[in-house]
Amino acid sequence: MGLGQPLPSRASLPYFSEMIHFFNIKREHHEKLDSIIKHAGWSHSAHCYLGNSLKYIKQIPQILRDNTVFLYLDPFGLKGCGFDQLEPFLVRDPRYSTEIVLTMCMPVVHRLAARHAIERGEEDTKIKSYHQLLTTVFGGDYWKDILYQQDIDTGIKEIQLIEYYLEKLRQYLPYTGYCPVRPKSDERVKYFIVFASRHPDAMLLMNNNMHKAYFSNMHKADFGGTLFGEIDWRDMPLPEGSSVENLKTLVKDLVTQYPGEARDTIWLKVVQAKFMSYDHSRYLDALSQLAKENKIEYLVDPNTRKRNNNSKLFPLN
């Protein structure tokens, strides 16, 4: 593969659309991945390109028609996930599936924001270029009002920034969420994994997957090599703010607000309100407990005579 190899033409779109495509600008990474794919016999469904992914990303929307798109961006730093690069995918015809996952590196964000230099009045051409990059990535300069707040914990500012960013994404793809990635539960976030989709099923799937990945890995990082490390992470207490009692309160409030909705409808609203805090099994446990406590009416599906995703929920008391 030569550097800057062109994408397939519109005429060969079926070939392009039915494959997974990986882009690497570093030859060693490209060759290693290409070797792994060929050795595994995956060449019929995956293809590697050596070149600048920024150029390829600009080309891809030009040859897309009604294709399903899953765009995963994992840049080194922030270059490569600008809002202007995402926008051609965000504004695609809503009849066609578009899923976006990207990583957002927080140490790089703070370094480019250069808050302390700004406070000292040291803004120069280089810092202005850093700020322009942040504005391009986040699709606006609202990051300044968030990151330059005084007497606010850095972690809180990061959450505020990502949540505001997701609000922008939701203008195009309504189902969004994020997962923090950190070495241990009491350490700073290294980066966020952000996703956006047009379909609610994607959000539910991401919720369960990210819940499992985050809490199982934090359990391993925090308790590996100790007696607690032998305990299944599912049996450990949930963190503050994500207790079973908090979940029951949230569910009861939602059932009160949306009486008569189906079980799966309320579950989606739980995920939208507290993404990644709970998995589906804890939700079902919370419903059963609320029903036993006579706080909600948890009906059976009249067609199956069993409780299932079609079961209607009503408030009691």
Overall average pLDDT of the 16-43 stretch: 85
Residue 15's pLDDT band (cuts 50, 70, 90):
very low
Task: Kindly report, residue by residue over 227-275, the tens digit of the pLDDT.
Answer: 888 888 888 777 766 788 999 999 999 999 999 999 999 999 999 999 9
Long-range contacts at 93-97 (CB < 8 A, ≥ 24 apart): 93/66, 94/198, 95/66, 96/66, 96/67, 96/68, 96/69, 97/68, 97/69, 97/198, 97/199
pLDDT one-digit tens code per residue, 35-80: 999 999 988 888 888 887 777 777 777 777 788 888 888 876 777 7
Delimiting residues of CATH 1.10.10.10 domain(s) in the chain = 236-315
- pLDDT > 50? residue 203: yes
CATH fold label, 236-315: Arc Repressor Mutant, subunit A (1.10.10)
pLDDT class for 162, splitting at 50, 70, 90? very high
**46-50/20-24 β-pairing:** parallel
Residue 215 zone, left/alpha/beta (φ > 0; ψ -120 to 50; rest): alpha
Task: Specify the pLDDT at position 36.
Answer: 94
Segment 152-163 mean pLDDT = 95
Q: Which residue has the tokens 């923090």?
A: 180
Q: Report in angstroms the alpha-carbon separations of 40 from 18, 61, 69.
A: 18, 29, 24
